[in-house]
Chains A and B, each alone.
Chain A
Amino acid sequence: MWENLQILGTAPVFNIQLWLNGLTVGAVFALVAYGLALVWGVTSVKNLAQGDFVMMGGFVGYWLSRHGVHPLLAIVPVAIFMFGYGWLIYKLIIRRVIQLDLFTSLLATFGLAITMQQSLNLVFGPDVQTIQSGFGRYEMFGGMVDVTQIRLIAFGLCIVLAVAMVLFLKKSRLGQAIRATAQDPRAARVLGVNTDLVYAMTFSINAAICGAAGVIIAMIWVIQPFYGIAYSVRAFVIVTAAGLGNLPAVILTALGLGVVEQYSGFVLGAQFQQATVVSLLLIILVWRTLLLRRHRLALQ
């Protein structure tokens, strides 16, 4: 551990490498977390199957690319497919748990997560997969730092998707209906918004975003049927830390999480990467509790 820290001290360019890797991965985390925050805010369903949607999108993209579709183009059919899948899941499961207590939605989506990861395991096998995108790499600082072109493209794509989402929510009629429902579902219904449709669209859009994020993850990193839970936990870390409906905070936290993970992977070793994410989640939850406690004391 100390040797690794010394490497960082003596060769500062490694820091640049870690930052580059962290930021590009963090951009994908931001997409996933934003989808989670959207569904959480609008339907109050906490989707524990979020990461498995990502993995499913990644595997569908992997399957398409094996059949000759260029992975960057595969994002579009994957998003459409995942949109349909999200719609189906909404009609079968989510619609019935919105009215019930919060733990029910958590448990139902957890059951969904188990079913999805096992189905992926049966169809694609338990191996770690990646999509070959066929792009080259840039080298900097005399080969000390290298960044694959696909990482930069993915980073750009994440920005495009995020901007498109924001514009959609601000400008389009449906986006406004979604925001109105998030603020007050009853008032929205009174004013003629079809809230059931809004819920369905929100959940399906989230599934589509996750699918796109999955293809990007498969191109810049790896996918595996059981890695989904890690993405769900990351998304929860980001959303609980940043708060709902605060897009700049979500993006900053996601990028930060990406960088922190890279550093902990480098300094502590790769086997601690998941432990780091989970510990961060606990720290944030406890920190929030302490804040609340202080708030309560101040009120008394």
Chain B
Amino acid sequence: MTKRSLGLHLLLLAAGIAAPFLFPAHTVQFAVFWIFVLFALTWDTMGGQMGYNSLGNVVFFGFGMYVCAIVQIALVYNVGAYTASDGAIKIDFTNQQYFTGLALGVFLAAILPVILAAILSWILFGLRGPYFAIGTLGVAIAAAELTSAWSWVGGGAGIAMPVFPGGPGMRERFFYAACMIATILCYLFLRWLYSTRFSLAINAIRDDEDKAEALGVHTARYKMVAWSVSAFFLGIAGALFGNMTGFIEPLETAYPTLTFGIFMIAMTLLGGKGTLWGPIVGATLFYTLRELTWTYLLGWQYIALGVLIIVTVVYFQQGIMGWVRAQKPGWFGVHVDAEPAKALKTDSSS
């Protein structure tokens, strides 16, 4: 890590820590921003680095959310009775009960989606190209529909999450910190992962899967691991997001295929897929745009979203990072000779 890049990282970290203290009214928005960065980073592992465009990554987010909620409730109460009461039953959690439940819930919300990813990858990775995208879209829609019909987990009516025991303002700050830590861990992990052989293997799968297989890359194994990494962090994000909103239900919060599921892709494409920083830049820009349109263009926000997707996909394929790389290759360690002919001449004379 060079000095300048270390300075940039520390600057962003300081901004992240300072944000909830400078603008305490917007702490939840900032926390959601970190979740969005995590969305884009994990989607890029699959879509950008490996070339498998999943429309259904949100399934791990919702699964983690539900796992965490059920673990938290099941530790102190009967889940079926709690969900059947439609929020009429209020449980007073002690501090210890709440945080034990949350820790265990987040832990399982990370592990179980990985298992789900392993099972799904066994089923779905036989599909290539657009069939994979449609198949994952089908999984996400089916998950939402089945959860809405399952009354033990609250069905379409949803679950009221346990109430955070701390004082006013503490809840927001606590979950802000949790979301930020989760996203930073995700970033550091992916940064390390992309510096290993692993990134070469999944990039090879993206470029030509059959050739990669012929060269001895265990494509099935790599694809499964890549999806599991996404699922791991998405599950944690789901658990935190569910607790932060305080109320979860299948269609709008847990499995929002048409909002979060598409935002992930839009952010990554906007920032430039297949780069580490592209998703982060894209998420920042997208989230700012989203907050502005949701505030000032209410009613038109989804139209703005659709148009943004179309324009990005059709007219701005390479994304922001791709564009910057084309303009300033030197920043990415790519050396381009300004006058190739002259360089050739000096070569031959020497």
Mark A residues whose CB is within 8 Å of B.
46, 93, 96-97, 100, 102-104, 106-108, 110-116, 118-119, 122, 229, 233, 236, 240, 271-272, 274-275, 278-279, 281-282, 285-286, 288-290, 292-293
Quick check: is B49 within 8 A (CB to CB) of the other chain? no
Taken together as a complex, chains A and B put the C-alpha atoms of A282 and B138 apart, in Å, by 6
Additional 17 contacts, C-beta under 8 A, given A114-B262, A285-B124, A285-B138: A93-B314, A102-B129, A103-B133, A106-B133, A107-B309, A108-B314, A110-B309, A111-B305, A112-B310, A114-B258, A115-B307, A116-B306, A118-B306, A271-B148, A274-B141, A281-B135, A282-B139
Taken together as a complex, chains A and B put the C-alpha atoms of A122 and B141 apart, in Å, by 24
Tell me how far the C-beta of B306 lies from the nearest C-beta in chain A, rounded to whole angstroms. 3
Quick check: is B126 within 8 A (CB to CB) of the other chain? yes
Contact among A104, A112, A240, A279 with B317 in the assembled complex (CB-CB below 8 Å): A104
- Complex contact A119–B309 (CB within 8 A): no
Quick check: is B25 within 8 A (CB to CB) of the other chain? no
A-side contacts of B53, CB under 8 Å: 103, 106-107
Tell me how far the C-beta of B117 lies from the nearest C-beta in chain A, rounded to whole angstroms. 16
Can you list 28 A-B contacts (CB < 8 A)? A46-B130, A46-B134, A93-B314, A97-B314, A103-B53, A103-B130, A104-B317, A106-B133, A107-B269, A108-B313, A111-B306, A114-B258, A114-B303, A114-B306, A118-B302, A119-B303, A233-B141, A236-B134, A271-B149, A272-B145, A272-B149, A274-B145, A278-B138, A278-B142, A279-B142, A285-B131, A286-B126, A289-B127
B-side contacts of A292, CB under 8 Å: 126
Tell me how far the C-beta of A241 lies from the nearest C-beta in chain B, rounded to whole angstroms. 12
Quick check: is B160 within 8 A (CB to CB) of the other chain? no
A-side contacts of B303, CB under 8 Å: 114-115, 118-119, 122
- Complex contact B317–A111 (CB within 8 A): no
B-side contacts of A119, CB under 8 Å: 303
Tell me how far the C-beta of A183 lies from the nearest C-beta in chain B, rounded to whole angstroms. 21
Size band of the interface chain B makes with A? 35 or more
4 smallest A-B Cβ distances: which pairs? A111-B309, A115-B306, A289-B126, A114-B306
B-side contacts of A113, CB under 8 Å: 306
Which B276-333 residues have a C-beta within 8 angstroms of A?
A: 299-300, 302-303, 305-310, 313-315, 317
Tell me how far the C-beta of A288 lies from the nearest C-beta in chain B, rounded to whole angstroms. 8
Closest to B123 in A: A286
B-side contacts of A106, CB under 8 Å: 53, 130, 133-134
Taken together as a complex, chains A and B put the C-alpha atoms of A281 and B133 apart, in Å, by 12
Contact among B55, B141, B258, B307 with A278 in the assembled complex (CB-CB below 8 Å): B141
- Complex contact B127–A103 (CB within 8 A): no
- Complex contact B310–A108 (CB within 8 A): yes
Closest to A292 in B: B126
B-side contacts of A288, CB under 8 Å: 131
